[in-house]
Chains A and B, each alone.
Chain A
C-alpha cells in the first residue's frame, strides 16, 4: 500500500514539475535560450502573491489572477529588451546573463523579505484530502495542481498546433531566417513565446508556494528539478515534459518511501540514468531535417 501511495504522490508531484519545466522547454525550443533564472522567477511569483494577496484581499488560491497576467507582460517585455539583447550576442551570453539575473534576484529577495521562509496562505484547503482507505489519501491541492498542469500543457499544445501565432512560433523555432523571409516579425513572436513561458513559470511558482514554504534561494532547486524533467522527457516535446515531470516525481516519491532522505537523490539518479541511456529523453527528439 505504501508503494501505491508513493506512486500517486509521485504522479501528482510530477504535474508540478512538468508545470515548472514547460517554460524552460519552450524558451529553449523556440529561441535556444537557457534561462538559469527560471527557478528564481517562479519564486518571485510566489513572493508577489504574498504581497498582492493582502492588498487586494484575495483568497490565496486566486492570487494567479494578478500574478499570471503580470508575468505574461513581464515575459514579453523582458524578451523584447534583455533576452533579445543577449540572443543578439550569442547563446553563451544568454546563459551568463540569466545566471547573473538569478544572483541579483536572490539577493534582491533577501533584501526585501529577509531569509525567513514564507508560504502562500490558502486556508484549510492545504490539508483537505480524499481518504481512499486507511493508507491512501490524495490531497485536493496536489490533485488540483496536477489537473492545472495537464490543462496548461494541453492548452499550450493546442495553441502551438492550431493557431496562426502558434504556427509562427513553430516556424521561427524551426528556421528563424526562413520565417523572416516569409514576413514573420520574429522578435514579436519570440516575445509571445517568452510571455507564455514566463506565465507558466508564474503558475508553477504559485503552486510551489502553496504546497511548500519558500525562501529567497529556493529557486535553485526549482531550476534543477525543471531542468531534470525537461531532459528526462526530451527537449521540445510538451508531452515529453509531462512524462519527464512524472518520472522525476515518482522517482523522488519512491526514493522517499524507502528512506525519507533518499527522495531527491533518487530523482537525480534516474535523471543521470536517462541521460546516459537515452540522451534524447524518453519521448525522443523531434525529427528535424
Chain B
C-alpha cells in the first residue's frame, strides 16, 4: 500500500533533527480524502520536491503544513516541535512560510506594503526588505506600484519576497511555475541556491517534473494522496518516475 519512506520516522530523536517531518498525515476535503497516511521527512538545508499530477494532493499537503487545512489525523513537526495544532499565523512565527499557489498578493497594497505585511511578525534572520530589494533589483524602483499592476513573474517575485522577510526555517513553495513563461520560471528557480545559502530549507510542489528533478536533492511523488515513489533524483529512472506519476506504479515496480 504505502511505499517505504527514506529516513527514520518517529523513534528516538537523532542528534540532527529533520527540519520538517510529517507523520501519518490524512487530510479530507469534505468527503474527499485528499491525502492518505502520508509520511515526509525534510532534512535541514535541502530542497525537497513533491511531484505529482493535478489532484494528487500536493497543494493540500503544503496548505496543511502551513496550517490552512486541519488534518483528519497525523502530526506535523518543525525542528522536533509538534506544530499540528497551531494556527497558520503562529506557524509563520514558528518558522514555516508558504508562498501560495497563484501568488495571492494583496492587490490593493503596493509592492512595499506587501513586503511590510510579510515582515510585521518576522523572526530574527538575514532577510529584510532591503535584502529582498537586492535580490530583485527591479523592485525598489517600483515599490509604490500596486501589486495588482505587476506581471505574473513580478508578482511571484513579490510573493517570494513577502515570505522571505519573515525569515522562515522552512519555505514552502506551491507551483511557482504556474502560469509563468519558461524563462521566468528558470530565473526564479535560479534564486534557490541563494536562499539555501542563508540556511533555509525548501519544500516545493511542482507539476513540471523535469524542473523539479533538476533542482531538488530529493523528490517524493504523490498519486491520489499517497506516496508512490521517493528518492534522490540521480537514483530514479525516468520510467520509474513516469510510472509513479501516472499511476502504473504497482505494476511497473513489483
Residues on A close to B: CB < 8 A?
Answer: 164, 167-168, 170-171, 173-175, 177-186, 286-289
Q: Check A175 against B92 for contact (C-beta < 8 Å).
A: no
Which chain A residue has the least Cβ–Cβ distance from B92?
Answer: A183
Q: Does B166 contact A (CB under 8 A)?
A: yes
Q: Check A288 against B107 for contact (C-beta < 8 Å).
A: yes
Most chain B CB inside 10 Å of its own CB: which residue of A171, A182, A186, A288: A182
Which chain B residue has the least Cβ–Cβ distance from A173?
Answer: B108
Q: Check A177 against B87 for contact (C-beta < 8 Å).
A: no
- A289 contacts which chain B residues (CB < 8 A)? 107, 147-148
Q: Check B118 against A182 for contact (C-beta < 8 Å).
A: yes
Residue pairs across A and B with Cβ atoms less than 8 A apart, 11 shown, are A168-B117, A171-B117, A174-B107, A174-B108, A175-B105, A175-B106, A181-B98, A183-B118, A184-B120, A184-B121, A287-B108
Main secondary structure of the interface of A (DSSP, over half): helix
Q: Check A287 against B120 for contact (C-beta < 8 Å).
A: no
Most chain A CB inside 10 Å of its own CB: which residue of B66, B87, B88, B107: B88
CB distance from B102 to the nearest CB of A (A): 10
Q: Check B107 against A170 for contact (C-beta < 8 Å).
A: no
Q: How far is it, in angstroms, between the C-alpha of A287 and the C-alpha of B150 when the chains are bound?
A: 13
- Taking a contact as CB atoms closer than 8 A, the residue among A178, A180, A286 that contacts B105 in the complex is A178
B residues 36-60 with Cβ under 8 Å of A?
none
Given contacts A183-B166, A287-B107, A288-B148, contact A167 B87 (CB under 8 A): no
- B92 contacts which chain A residues (CB < 8 A)? 181-183
The 4 closest A-B pairs by CB, nearest first: A183-B121, A174-B106, A289-B148, A183-B92
Q: How far is it, in angstroms, between the C-alpha of A121 and the C-alpha of B181 when the chains are bound?
A: 68
Most chain B CB inside 10 Å of its own CB: which residue of A178, A181, A186: A181
Count A-B pairs with CB separation below 8 Å: 83
CB distance from B64 to the nearest CB of A (A): 13
CB distance from B119 to the nearest CB of A (A): 8
Q: Does B83 contact A (CB under 8 A)?
A: no
Q: Check B148 against A182 for contact (C-beta < 8 Å).
A: no
Q: Check B148 against A164 for contact (C-beta < 8 Å).
A: no
Residues on B close to A: CB < 8 A?
Answer: 66-68, 87-89, 92-93, 97-98, 100, 104-109, 113, 116-118, 120-122, 146-148, 162-163, 166
Q: How far is it, in angstroms, between the C-alpha of A170 and the C-alpha of B13 when the chains are bound?
A: 43
Q: Check A182 against B109 for contact (C-beta < 8 Å).
A: no
- A183 contacts which chain B residues (CB < 8 A)? 89, 92-93, 118, 120-122, 166
- A173 contacts which chain B residues (CB < 8 A)? 108
CB distance from B132 to the nearest CB of A (A): 14
Which chain B residue has the least Cβ–Cβ distance from A164?
Answer: B120
- A167 contacts which chain B residues (CB < 8 A)? 109, 113, 116-117
Q: How far is it, in angstroms, between the C-alpha of A171 and the C-alpha of B112 when the chains are bound?
A: 12
Most chain B CB inside 10 Å of its own CB: which residue of A170, A171, A179, A287: A171
Most chain B CB inside 10 Å of its own CB: which residue of A173, A177, A183: A183
Most chain B CB inside 10 Å of its own CB: which residue of A164, A287, A289: A289
- Taking a contact as CB atoms closer than 8 A, the residue among A170, A179, A185 that contacts B108 in the complex is A170
Which chain A residue has the least Cβ–Cβ distance from B165?
Answer: A182
Q: Check A180 against B108 for contact (C-beta < 8 Å).
A: no
- Taking a contact as CB atoms closer than 8 A, the residue among B105, B106, B121, B163 that contacts A170 in the complex is B106
Which chain A residue has the least Cβ–Cβ distance from B150?
Answer: A289
- A178 contacts which chain B residues (CB < 8 A)? 100, 104-106
Q: How far is it, in angstroms, between the C-alpha of A167 and the C-alpha of B110 when the chains are bound?
A: 10
CB distance from B67 to the nearest CB of A (A): 8
Q: Check A180 against B148 for contact (C-beta < 8 Å).
A: no
Q: Check B117 against A179 for contact (C-beta < 8 Å).
A: yes
Most chain B CB inside 10 Å of its own CB: which residue of A164, A170, A174, A286: A174
CB distance from B9 to the nearest CB of A (A): 26
CB distance from A171 to the nearest CB of B (A): 5
- A186 contacts which chain B residues (CB < 8 A)? 89
Given contacts A174-B106, A174-B109, contact A181 B97 (CB under 8 A): yes
- B106 contacts which chain A residues (CB < 8 A)? 170-171, 174-175, 178-179
Q: How far is it, in angstroms, between the C-alpha of A179 and the C-alpha of B122 when the chains are bound?
A: 13
CB distance from B186 to the nearest CB of A (A): 25
Known: A167-B109, A174-B108, A286-B108. 11 other contacts (CB 8 A): A170-B106, A170-B109, A173-B108, A177-B88, A177-B104, A178-B104, A178-B106, A181-B98, A181-B104, A183-B122, A289-B107
- B93 contacts which chain A residues (CB < 8 A)? 183
Which chain A residue has the least Cβ–Cβ distance from B103?
Answer: A178
Q: Check A164 against B68 for contact (C-beta < 8 Å).
A: no
Which chain A residue has the least Cβ–Cβ distance from B113?
Answer: A167
Q: How far is it, in angstroms, between the C-alpha of A179 and the C-alpha of B113 when the chains are bound?
A: 12
Q: How far is it, in angstroms, between the C-alpha of A177 and the C-alpha of B89 when the chains are bound?
A: 9
- A286 contacts which chain B residues (CB < 8 A)? 108
Q: How far is it, in angstroms, between the C-alpha of A182 and the C-alpha of B122 when the chains are bound?
A: 9
- Taking a contact as CB atoms closer than 8 A, the residue among B107, B108, B120 that contacts A182 in the complex is B120
CB distance from A156 to the nearest CB of B (A): 16
